[in-house]
Structure 1
Amino acid sequence: MSKKVTFNYADAKLNLSDKNRVKEFVETIFKKERRKLEAINYVFCSDEFLLTINKEHLQHDYYTDIITFDLSETSEIVAEVYISVDRIKDNAKQLKTPFNEEALRVIFHGALHLCGYKDKKKEEVQLMRSKEDYYINLYSR
């Protein structure tokens, strides 16, 4: 069981199979990306909970699926990642993707941000998506 990756719940539960394996795999992402992970705390919440964080900390007044806070003070990564379970459900429906796959994509997305990947420009988004797909496929083997 992972001691570096934790899952916590603000006001929403994440119904994801084999959570311990997912946590261990997040550690694998950091190893493969050659980044040192000290601790990452995923907090699963509702749209409204994450909207409040988005407004207060980023001055953004819109729903999002994930907000990642890099709290690192050294080269070892320490972070909090807030994920809206409501957004995962809606995105999975819209994209006609299984809930579990969309949940993995968002969880891995947060880890990839902490490994240095960005998603503001078109080419950054393409690289991020390809990395997400790579790790989802690797996890699913």
Structure 2
Amino acid sequence: MKKIYINFFDKKEKHIYKYIKKIFSYIKYILFKEKIYNYILNYIYCNNKYIIYINNIFFKKKKKTDVISLFYNNNNNNIKYLIGEIYICLEETYINSVYNFVDYKYEILRNIIHGTLHTIGYLDNNKKNKEIMYEKQKYYILKYIFKKLIDKVDKLCMI
């Protein structure tokens, strides 16, 4: 079973749906590379109010964040399957893009990959885990960006 769902809690953010949908074939590639062959992932795009609500329920934190990953991952007897939800707060994503001087779409990509890596089992709860996770995150982000760039160059060369 291989399914990825996209849901918008905040309907006014649906304008980025096409961009997000393009990323999901790449997410399937990441899951394949990480040897996850059976999965159901639900990406929920929400506002600050909803992310605070989710953060409070699951982590007892009454604060905003850009991404929260909740998952069930079975890795018994080499039968891997993954069921997860990734909540991405688009307001916080936008604020982070401005703060870090990066494109909003890049920050969305970063959050999608970050949340996906958490569902696979990568952690950022200590220095060592953070290094491992962020190297993996950087690898997948750069691979995605360079592939897009190469595709554009190929198109230009064909003209």
CA deviations over 1:98-126 (Å, ceiling 9, x no partner):
11111101000111112211001112222
Aligned Cα root-mean-square deviation (Å): 1.8
The answer to which structure has the higher strand fraction is 2
Aligned pair partner of 1:116 in 116, 121, 129 = 121
Q: Could you list the runs of 5+ residues in structure 1 that have no partner in the other structure?
A: none
Secondary structure of the residue that 1:96 maps to in structure 2? Answer: coil
Name the TM-score, length of structure 1 as normaliser.
0.89
Partners of 1:56 and 1:105 lie apart in 2 by 24
In terms of fraction of residues, the more helix-rich structure is: 2
Match of 1:55 in 2: 56
Q: Take 1:39 and 1:27, find their aligned partners in 2: how far apart are those partners?
A: 11
How far, CA to CA, are the matches of 2:33 and 2:6 in structure 1?
A: 21
% identical equivalent positions: 27
Q: Residue in 2 aligned with 1:25?
A: 26
Report the TM-score, using the length of structure 2 for normalisation. Answer: 0.80
Q: Deviations over 1:25-81 (max 9, x none)?
A: 111111111123321010000011110111122211111111111134673101111
Runs of 4+ residues deviating >6 angstroms: none
Aligned residues: 139
